[in-house]
Amino acid sequence: MIIFDRRICNDFEAASSREWLETNGIGGFASGTVASANTRRYHGLLTAATRPPLGRVTVLSKFEETIELDGQGFDLSSNQFPGVVSPQGYLLLKEFRLDPFPIWTYEIDDLVLEKRVFMAHGSNTTVCRWAIVGGNPAGVKLTLKPLLSFVDYHGLQRESESFRFRHSVGENMVQIDAADDCPSLFLNHSGAEIIDTGYWYKNFEYAIERERGFDFTEDLFQPFELAFELSRGPATVFASTDDGGTFDYGTVEADEIKRRKSLIRKSGVKTDFEKQLVLAADQFIVARGGGQTVIAGYPWFSDWGRDTMIALNGLTLATGRHEIAKNILLEFSHHISEGMIPNRFPDAGDMAEYNTVDATLWYFEAVRAYIEKTGDLKFVRKNLYEKLADIVAWHLNGTRYNIHLDTDGLLYAGSPDVQLTWMDAKVGDLVITPRTGKAVEIQALWYNALLIMAGLAAEFGDTKDEARYLAMADLCKLSFNGAFWNEAENCLYDVVDNGTRDAAIRPNQIFAVSLSHSMVDADRGTKIVEKVESELLTPLGLRSLSPNDSQYCPTYIGSPFDRDSAYHQGTVWAWLIGPFIDAYRKVHGSNAETEKRVREILSGFESHLTEAGLRQISEIFDADQSHRPRGCFAQAWSVAEVLRVNKHSF
């Protein structure tokens, strides 16, 4: 459980910077802040996935909530408007806790009110409940004013005569319709009086959008009020795009609590830190077609091939959810094209994008991890082996984006106008870190894939293919050690291309040590880890560029151009802590001293779970000593890699 008292709750800056997240397993989500003030365009009580896991539309931004007690009104809501926070309901907050979902406790004189919010799994439904848990409820009224947005979740609403909101009232239900391309919103309630209004609330300000250099103001429409007599019992609202669902609060809440407890039980974890991470991991696993995939990050990412394959081990195998791992591997196998898995599935349209060289190579490592955990060679032989062999053939002969095997056995990829590695920032036509040629981690992943294939060929009796993969791996290893070792710095070059060698100290070299099959010997491996530790390691991940480099950017802030320019030029990435710890354990051995150091390295993430995205790990952090969280407040591979390398009982 995560809990905050008045010290945090009654401090607007502290309460509004801590974000909660609820997800539904099909791509929809709800999110906001402890203060109940939305600070992002992505905050809202219901963002529905109309084409699971994508097609996301924010239909309900929030409720304005007012308690009437002895004829006096008390606002529970908070909003940022130009120059003012109004109302200031956060000052009435006695406590906020995540147990297991967001729960606010308000205190007004002797009256204590509790609000709960969670999503029903498998449904675009957010459940909200307000209940008196202390004091006399006689004569206490609750008024809810729904504020509607009905926009693509990347967008902002504006007052417009052309945008028509329509609603119809039924028994304990109100149906709301807006634009033709938006789903209907159903508010199923526990006996509220409906009072028509029809007002625009204008100029909400979203502080994080302003910080990110985007449009940061929005107008929201308030069509009616829902008035409840709390003396009759709790007020409940199911906000849903699903008509005719199950709207029994007790059943839905009990089912969701049971589901979350089962996740922890199945994972076998023991500590509170691990339990929080298991619940965090679940929020990224969503349905796609007949299978499953991984949402790369909340609030704005869709499912990305690279992120999915890197995160698969920690999200599913480390949590005992082996069947989901199998489903993900199988689902992505259906999208292989010209020897490549998709880079991402875009929000608009169904056509996958394939501009990646490493996602496909990470697919091999995900398959290897699945086999290691389950021993399920039968599944791999039947469904994946031939496809994996075909991937190798495409890379050998050449595929999209000039990805091909060079005569030295190393993998070449890219051109100056396309971003293919995980360092993929691009502003217009400008690629910030093109890394064209032979990137260090791509060679490490390619070598790893070849030896995985050699092992599978041996298991399946394909001795001819086994020998071929081993020969390719030997040439790759020989060429790599000759081309990539930087004697002056005792580490690896980042990119080799037509005789030029990029000596920038970046974290990509750590994969040459961390992966299951490594091309470097023990001495070089130790030197690589020492270099990365001395120049790149922070309490929350690895810097993407050494502070000693002239291109180093210490903070990730400002306009989109400023931020993209810093994205891989120093900015700390949490997910890289996983491969660093793998490499550290390799070179230092499995002993008490090593594990003591690992615990020290991971300790920063435990406190981070209460600092930004609650129960989550952020995508990135500033490279300077403040290490302020940036980017997505909940990132799949950040959670997955910390969970995977944590020493406890997986």
Helices and strands of the chain, counted as H and E runs = 18, 37
358-374 helix and 440-459 helix, angle to the nearest 10 degrees? 40
Which stretches of 594-648 are assigned E, i.e. beta strand? 620-621, 629-630, 634-635
CB neighbour burial string for 69-88, b if at least 16 within 10 angstroms, e if fewer: beeeebbbbbbbeeeebebb
Contact 529, 584 (CB under 8 A): yes
pLDDT at 349: 63
pLDDT at 245: 67
HEC per residue, 263-282:
HHHHHCCCCHHHHHHHHHHH
Name the residue with tokens 């967008």.
155
Q: Would you say residue 210 has pLDDT above 60?
A: yes
Average pLDDT, stretch 501-528?
Answer: 98
Contact 56, 75 (CB under 8 A): no
Q: Name the least confident of 71-85, 417-431, 617-631.
A: 417-431
Name the residue with tokens 């995205």.
613
Cα–Cα separations (whole angstroms), residue 544 to 215, 353, 379, 536: 28, 25, 37, 7
Average pLDDT, stretch 57-85?
Answer: 97
Residue closest to 461 by CA, chosen among 543, 377, 579: 377
> How far apart are the C-alpha atoms of 379 and 390, rounded to whole Å?
17
Contact 200, 159 (CB under 8 A): yes
Structure tokens at 458: 């041996």
Q: What is the DSSP letter of 410?
A: P
pLDDT tens digits for range 548-589 = 999 999 999 999 999 999 999 999 999 999 999 999 999 999
pLDDT tens digits for range 31-40 = 999 999 999 9
Q: Would you say residue 77 has pLDDT above 60?
A: yes
Average pLDDT, stretch 501-526?
Answer: 98
Cβ neighbours, 10 Å, residue 194:
16
In the chain, where are the structural domains located?
2-257, 406-526
Contact 502, 421 (CB under 8 A): no
Contact 610, 275 (CB under 8 A): no
Contact 184, 177 (CB under 8 A): yes
Question: Which residues 6+ apart lie within 8 Å of 335 measured at CB?
Answer: 341, 342, 352
Q: What is the mean pLDDT of the chain?
A: 96
Q: Would you say residue 347 has pLDDT above 80?
A: no
Contact 566, 430 (CB under 8 A): no
Q: What is the DSSP letter of 508?
A: G
Q: Would you say residue 649 has pLDDT above 80?
A: no
Q: What number of CA atoms fall less than 13 Å from residue 487's CA on the CB side? A: 2
**Burial (Cβ within 10 Å: 0-12, 13-18, ≥19) of residue 251:** exposed
Q: Name the least confident of 276-285, 409-418, 456-465, 566-575.
A: 409-418
pLDDT tens digits for range 463-483 = 999 999 999 999 999 999 999
Q: Would you say residue 181 has pLDDT above 90?
A: no
Q: Would you say residue 647 has pLDDT above 60?
A: no
> How far apart are the C-alpha atoms of 384 and 360, rounded to whole Å?
13
> How far apart are the C-alpha atoms of 141 and 558, rounded to whole Å?
44
Q: What is the DSSP string of 483-523?
A: HHEETTTTEE-SEEETTEEE----GGGGHHHHSSS-SS-HH
Average pLDDT, stretch 19-32?
Answer: 98
Percent of the chain with pLDDT over 70: 99
> How far apart are the C-alpha atoms of 343 and 401, rounded to whole Å?
13
pLDDT at 418: 85
Structure confidence at residue 17 as a pLDDT band (50, 70, 90): very high
Cis amide linkage into residue 102, ω under 30° from 0: no
> How far apart are the C-alpha atoms of 52 and 355, rounded to whole Å?
23
pLDDT at 350: 67
> How far apart are the C-alpha atoms of 624 and 630, rounded to whole Å?
12
Cα–Cα separations (whole angstroms), residue 176 to 126, 189, 629, 631: 15, 14, 37, 33
**Burial (Cβ within 10 Å: 0-12, 13-18, ≥19) of residue 460:** middle
Average pLDDT, stretch 117-139?
Answer: 97
The answer for 268, left when phi > 0, alpha when psi is -120 to 50, beta otherwise, is left
* pTM of the complete model beyond 0.85: yes
Average pLDDT, stretch 90-104?
Answer: 98
Residue closest to 480 by CA, chosen among 540, 521, 451, 452: 521
Using DSSP's 3-state secondary structure scheme, residue 376 falls into: coil
Contact 119, 22 (CB under 8 A): yes
Contact 584, 537 (CB under 8 A): no
The amino acid occupying position 216 is: F
Using DSSP's 3-state secondary structure scheme, residue 417 falls into: coil
Name the residue with tokens 């929201």.
220
pLDDT at 648: 44
Contact 325, 311 (CB under 8 A): no
Is the domain 2-257 a CATH 2.70.98 member?
A: yes
Measured in degrees and rounded to the nearest 5, phi and psi for residue 48 equal -95, 140
Structure tokens at 176: 């709301």
Percent of the chain with pLDDT over 90: 92
Which H/E stretch holds residue 411? strand 411-412
Average pLDDT, stretch 244-249?
Answer: 80
pLDDT at 320: 97
> How far apart are the C-alpha atoms of 253 and 257, rounded to whole Å?
6
Q: Would you say residue 605 has pLDDT above 90?
A: yes
Q: Spell out the alpha helix ranges (H) of 461-591.
A: 463-484, 511-514, 522-535, 560-566, 577-588
Cα–Cα separations (whole angstroms), residue 512 to 193, 464, 480, 493, 575: 65, 27, 10, 11, 16
Structure tokens at 607: 């406190």
Q: Would you say residue 490 has pLDDT above 90?
A: yes
Structure confidence at residue 650 as a pLDDT band (50, 70, 90): very low
Residue closest to 363 by CA, chosen among 446, 420, 460: 446
Q: Would you say residue 348 has pLDDT above 80?
A: no
User: Measured between alpha carbons, how far apart are the two ends of the chain, in Å?
Assistant: 21
